[in-house]
Structure 1
Amino acid sequence: MTEQPITIYNHKQQPVTLDALRLTNYARAQIIEAIDSTQQLYYLFFYKGKFITAKTTSTLKRFSFIAKAFSYGHVHHAPHPFIKAFLDANPTMKMINNQQLLRKLNDKYSKHDQAYILTMFESFIKKQQLFDHLKSMFYEDRREGHLFSAYQTIQIMKDFTPNHSFVKSLINDRIFKKYFTMYQDQNEKLFQQDVIESEKIMFNDPEQYFNYYMDHLKAEDRIIELSMLQYHQLKTAPTEAILKTFEKNFPNALSDEDLLKLYDELASYNSFNPLQNRLLKKCIEFGHLNQISSIILKHDLDFNAQDAKQLTEIITRQTDRKLTAHPQGLQRILIKLIDFNSSNTDRLLYPFVSELLGHYDLDELNKWLEPFRELNSNANVLAKFDRIYALNNDLDHIQTLGELYFDFKQWDQALECFSMASELRPDDSKPLKWLSKTYLEKGLKAESEVYQKMYVDSQKQAY
């Protein structure tokens, strides 16, 4: 797949075209790294799937939020369906300055969401300025007696500036003792009262909190993030239950082809059989023969009767024989299909033998066909190839060899044989007839007519 260019509007409301490089999902934040035609890097910030703004920079601060997001988040390189999903969900994206950012956050987000979002921008806004803003939020809550809310802000500041003396002194302040215990124990009460902190915990410990995290994302209708979470789990600890819910919850904005790409990626990370089989079924559904060839060669998966029937229909309708570029994978597919129903041997093998004759040495092709002789030794296609193999370089039967090549639509080899037969037996009109037929099949009407006339003249002379 190819990624569609990204269009954002700069501070002057002028469109800027970008190419995506990668996406990271890091708890509630998503960031797309992109580049413009001058190689300027842009970072597009999303919060719970919603676009916030974009920033430009040439370097990122070490240990900043964005640096950690690309180091410890779930990263997907372009082109990728998840990048497409975020862009489709945010069709209009405008860059705003820092003052506009503060107003936007104040209008649309809760106090603690604002605090968390602001920490995402430490590579683009002075850290002291951000710290002072968070500090004022803390003091405002404490003055009004909202101690838990104040402590929530301190927890956000702890991730932002863990070694700052102000943060250290307040984390263990006795007036916040009961809250400190709640955060330290990570108990149910914390998960009910501080969704930002609880989501960070769930993101960092998916083994323990995976199902809880899935329910949380689903309840907030954050379907793209839910799919990304399930995708990551399928990479690291796949189960059939997750596989089923992954497809069930797949974002509507993404296509079946996008789902196929994700299955293909996942299959490259592990050899989880249900996943490989799901990929195989999707490839059969879409008729992706080269991928089927690759999957079967790597994992030796089996078909059921319905798969075999569907794949047989796809192969026999196929006009593009590019699959012959992977003869071992093709052989594995055809063996499995013929094993299901040997009466399909000629129907399945004929077009591919015809194509392989044009690209492979006869000895190689003879060896490639050996397993099919064990499955159906009476197949007509095998008998014809065996005659080609036996008669190769036999000048006494060069006409017959040409007719066999003609049957397999190998026009050039057929022409070579008929031309030689005509030279060896100049009084025989039969090679002329076949030369005319073969040139016509090649679309060379003028040459065909020449040999047709020669054939008719030779017939007249015979009488």
Structure 2
Amino acid sequence: MSTTTISVKDQKHTYTFNLERMTIYKQSKIIEARDAEAQLFYLFFYKDAYINTVKAKELKPNSHAANAFEHGVTFRAPHPLIDAIIAASGPYKKHRFNDLFPKLQKQHTLQETTLIATFFESFIKKEQLLKFIKTLYNEDRRSGKMYACYRIYRVAQAFAPTHSWVKSLAGELDFKKYAPLYENLDASLFEKDPIYVEQFLYENRDTPERFNQLSTFLQQQGRWIDDIALSIDRFNKQQSNELYEAIHEKIKVHFESDDLIRLLEDLYERAPNLEPLQQDILDTYLKQDQPERALKLIATHHIELHPSQVKTFDHIVDHIDLESSSVSIEELNTVIGSLFTTIPRQAEALLQKAIRMLMKEHSISYIQQWLNPLRDVPEAQQTIAKVDQIQELEDDPNKQLQLGELYYEFNQLNQAIECFSWEMELNEQNPKPVQWLSKLYNELGMNHEAKAYQQLYVDMVKNG
């Protein structure tokens, strides 16, 4: 089920926010949402863990939040990946920063707390954030943890490279022995400094090698939401069957039913002409009993159905609702016409269903015009001829029995009753229209009328 709202507690009050979009950037996620007065808020996450909600203000250039919305991977709500992160985190409470930062130190390492603090540069003065980061650095220094200090220094250097305190740390003699590890991404860093490793791989993810390393890294951390999001981003930039198949395998593990369809449709919007994707969406539509969507997809791409798909389509074509289909009346004739080349039997069934639908609100002459694009389709000729015949017989008093039978074929029972009633008046000795009237009233559930005409029919046959 799609998540479109979220409740956030602020002291004693709880507010409902409407979700708008989520961006995934390095180790963070930011969800943009609005309250009932349309005021904008940001919900911050570290990896998959909720951190805080802040009221939006103009984002400082090159701040973490500004970079996230400019360079991150963004999805508009509703979206299954947004649903997944909302379900995985919470409860959602708005904290004052003075209360938040001490809490972070209890839940995260000092390096992680340093990184999280940098997320809020647009909402807290940079000098104040650096003052807090300095206390974290000094805590590790007092404990003699120089490599832990160096890891905090590298986060601070990326955050404020020109700040005097950060620049002063560059000359630390103890730090010089660590620097070579970072020059060529030493393998030991995957364990020693995963924060740096992830940021490096994220920034270089456009190369296949680094992307594969990042994907493996995220999977090892159990961060499948990030892995799928970055895989979609890569697919968006470089569409190929190989990349699609890799994403499809990932999303099948975590999503099913409607969420799976929504993710496949997201990919389809990015690469509508990718044949394996078309087939997978079609399979999913058929399995989930969504014939209207399947019909639109088949017609759009002239997809040739596999035998198993034809069999499944057979099962669902009877209850396809053309009135609620995304295919408009104006293009439905073309859609059905295209199906005759791949699934002629099902196309004929859909044509019959479409004509029955049109007869509810349109004249026969309108339907004849609507059928014009199909007049060169051999398999449609018999049905079209019957519609043309209805037009010819409508004002012929001597052909009402035949006209009623044609209306019955298209399930227009009330029109058929009018025709048979007229025929009965014109040919009082003919039991055929009476028999038809008994049948039709019975199908309409009008038992009293059906029995009356049945008895009349019996009497006519007996006396005839």
The TM-score normalised by the length of structure 2 is 0.82
Q: Which residue of 2 aligns with 1:116?
A: 115
Amino acid at match of 2:263: L
Gaps of 5+ in 1: none
Q: Does 1:24 align with 2:23?
A: yes
Among candidates 266, 281, 294, match of residue 292 of structure 1: 294
Q: CA–CA distance in 1 between the matches of 2:309 and 2:458?
A: 55
Q: CA–CA distance in 1 between the matches of 2:59 and 2:405?
A: 70
Alignment check: 8 A CA contact 2:437 2:450 kept: no
Q: CA–CA distance in 2 between the matches of 1:347 and 1:272?
A: 29
- Matching of residues 62-101 of structure 1 within 5 Å: 62-101=61-100
CA change 1:172–1:394 in 2 (3 A) is: farther
Amino acid at match of 2:259: D
Alignment check: 8 A CA contact 1:172 1:180 kept: no
Gaps of 5+ in 2: none
> Displacement, 1:242?
4.4
Alignment check: 8 A CA contact 1:119 1:160 kept: yes
Deviations 1:195-250 (A, max 9, x none): 11221122223232121111111111112222222232333334555444434443
Deviations 1:65-105 (A, max 9, x none): 12221221111111111111111112522222223211221
Q: Per the alignment, in what secondary structure is the counterpart of residue 310 of structure 1?
A: helix
Alignment check: 8 A CA contact 1:64 1:123 kept: yes
Q: Which residue of 2 aligns with 1:315?
A: 317
- Matching of residues 219-238 of structure 1 within 5 Å: 219-238=220-239
Q: Per the alignment, in what secondary structure is the counterpart of residue 123 of structure 2?
A: coil
Q: Which residue of 1 aligns with 2:338?
A: 332
Q: Which residue of 1 aligns with 2:149?
A: 150
- Bigger CA drift: 111-120 or 143-152? 143-152
- Bigger CA drift: 127-136 or 152-161? 152-161
Q: CA–CA distance in 2 between the matches of 1:423 and 1:168?
A: 105
Q: Which residue of 2 aligns with 1:11?
A: 11
Q: Which residue of 2 aligns with 1:258?
A: 259
CA RMSD of aligned residues (A): 3.8
> Displacement, 1:262?
0.7
Q: Which residue of 2 aligns with 1:36?
A: 35
CA change 1:136–1:92 in 2 (3 A) is: closer
- Matching of residues 120-269 of structure 1 within 5 Å: 120-141=119-140, 146-168=145-167, 170-171=169-170, 176-177=175-176, 179-208=178-207, 209-250=210-251, 254-269=255-270
Q: Which residue of 2 aligns with 1:53?
A: 52
Alignment check: 8 A CA contact 1:3 1:79 kept: yes
Q: Per the alignment, in what secondary structure is the counterpart of residue 122 of structure 1?
A: coil
Alignment check: 8 A CA contact 1:44 1:51 kept: yes
Q: Per the alignment, in what secondary structure is the counterpart of residue 313 of structure 1?
A: helix
CA change 1:64–1:249 in 2 (3 A) is: same
Q: Per the alignment, in what secondary structure is the counterpart of residue 228 of structure 1?
A: helix
Amino acid at match of 2:11: H
- Bigger CA drift: 230-239 or 195-204? 230-239
Q: CA–CA distance in 2 between the matches of 1:443 and 1:320?
A: 25
Q: Which residue of 2 aligns with 1:363?
A: 368
Q: CA–CA distance in 1 between the matches of 2:336 and 2:226?
A: 38
> Displacement, 1:254?
4.4
Alignment check: 8 A CA contact 1:357 1:365 kept: no
> Displacement, 1:289?
1.6
Q: Per the alignment, in what secondary structure is the counterpart of residue 70 of structure 1?
A: helix
> Displacement, 1:345?
7.2
Amino acid at match of 2:372: K
Amino acid at match of 1:109: H
Alignment check: 8 A CA contact 1:25 1:73 kept: yes
> Displacement, 1:123?
2.6
The TM-score normalised by the length of structure 1 is 0.82
Q: CA–CA distance in 1 between the matches of 2:243 and 2:347?
A: 39
Q: CA–CA distance in 2 between the matches of 1:98 and 1:390?
A: 81
> Displacement, 1:162?
3.8
Q: Per the alignment, in what secondary structure is the counterpart of residue 94 of structure 2?
A: coil
Q: CA–CA distance in 2 between the matches of 1:251 and 1:44?
A: 28
Amino acid at match of 1:399: L
Amino acid at match of 2:216: D
Amino acid at match of 1:92: P
Alignment check: 8 A CA contact 1:227 1:249 kept: yes
Q: CA–CA distance in 2 between the matches of 1:275 and 1:453?
A: 57
Alignment check: 8 A CA contact 2:401 2:423 kept: yes
- Matching of residues 366-381 of structure 1 within 5 Å: 366-367=371-372, 369-370=374-375, 373=378, 375=379
> Displacement, 1:422?
6.4
CA change 1:128–1:424 in 2 (3 A) is: farther
Q: Per the alignment, in what secondary structure is the counterpart of residue 138 of structure 1?
A: helix
Q: Which residue of 1 aligns with 2:280?
A: 278
> Displacement, 1:286?
0.7
